[in-house]
C-alpha cells in the first residue's frame, strides 16, 4: 500500500517509519506554514520572518535520510492530476492543512484526519465546550487568569479544594499540563517558574 502523511511538525514520522518497516511505500507531505493555518498572516517583522524561515528549514531537514519528503502543494497537485485513489491512503497527523484534505476528499481519496471542524474545535475552545455540553458531555468549568498571575490561580485552587486538570499556556512553546494530585502542586509550579526551571 501507499501512504502519504501530511505534516507540519512531524508528529506522524514514527508512524511513517513503522509503515515503511512493514514494507509499505511512505511519503511525508510537508505542509507549508501559509497552508497550515486557516487565516494565514504574512510575517510583518524581522522576528516573525525568522521564525517562519526556521519552521521551513525544520520541515526541510527533519527526517533526512529516514523517509521520503515533498512539499504538500506539489503532492496535492500531482494527486489531483492522477487517478490513484484505490492505492493511496492519506493521513493528516495534526489539525493543520485541512485545505489540502478537503481538496483530496473531493477527488475521492481516502483521507484520515485534517478536517476544518477538527481545526476549529482546537482553536475555538468556547465553541468546543458548547458543542460537548449540547451532546450531554459534562464539561469542566473554565477559569482564565491574566498572564503572570499564578498566585490568583493558586488561590482559586485552594478555594475549590478539587482534583482537577489544569494547563498553563503561553505564547511560546513551553506548555505545561498537569493533573493535580496534591493541593500544593500549583505552588510548586509557581516557585519553579520563579527559578526559571525548564519543564519538558
Which CATH number is 2-122 given?
A: 3.40.50
Average pLDDT over residues 59-73: 90
Write out pLDDT tens, residues 150-168: 788 778 777 776 655 555 5
β-strands 25-30, 110-112: how paired?
unpaired
The vertex-179 CA angle with 198 and 147, nearest 5°, equals: 55
Share of the chain above pLDDT 90, in %: 36
CA atoms within 13 A on the CB side of 9: 8
Distances (CA, A) of 180 to 23, 137, 161: 43, 22, 11
More confident residue, 189 or 52: 52
Domain residues of the chain, as ranges?
2-122, 140-194
Residue 43: partners with Cβ closer than 8 Å, 6 or more residues away: 49, 51, 52
Res. 24: pLDDT tops 70: yes
97-126 pLDDT, tens digit per residue, is 999 999 999 999 999 999 998 888 888 888
Amino acid at each position: 500500500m501507499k501512504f502519504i502523511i501530511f505534516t507540519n511538525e512531524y508528529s506522524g514520522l514514527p508512524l511513517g517509519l513503522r509503515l515503511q518497516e512493514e514494507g509499505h511505500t511512505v511519503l511525508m507531505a510537508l505542509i507549508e506554514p501559509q497552508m497550515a493555518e486557516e487565516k494565514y498572516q504574512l510575517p510583518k517583522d524581522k522576528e516573525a520572518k525568522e521564525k517562519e524561515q526556521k519552521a521551513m528549514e525544520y520541515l526541510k531537514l527533519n527526517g533526512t535520510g529516514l523517509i521520503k519528503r515533498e512539499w504538500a502543494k506539489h503532492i496535492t497537485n500531482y494527486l489531483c492530476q492522477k487517478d490513484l485513489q484505490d492505492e493511496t491512503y492519506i493521513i493528516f497527523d495534526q489539525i493543520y492543512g485541512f485545505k489540502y484534505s478537503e481538496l483530496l476528499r473531493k477527488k475521492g481519496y481516502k483521507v484520515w484526519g485534517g478536517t476544518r471542524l477538527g481545526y476549529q474545535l482546537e482553536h475555538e475552545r468556547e465553541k468546543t465546550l458548547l458543542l460537548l455540553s449540547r451532546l450531554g458531555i459534562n464539561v469542566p468549568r473554565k477559569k482564565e487568569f491574566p498572564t503572570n498571575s499564578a498566585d490568583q490561580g493558586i488561590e482559586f485552587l485552594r478555594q475549590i479544594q478539587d482534583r482537577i486538570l489544569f494547563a498553563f499556556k503561553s505564547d511560546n512553546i513551553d506548555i505545561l499540563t498537569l493533573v493535580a494530585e496534591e493541593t500544593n502542586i500549583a505552588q510548586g509550579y509557581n516557585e519553579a517558574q520563579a527559578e526559571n526551571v525548564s519543564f519538558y
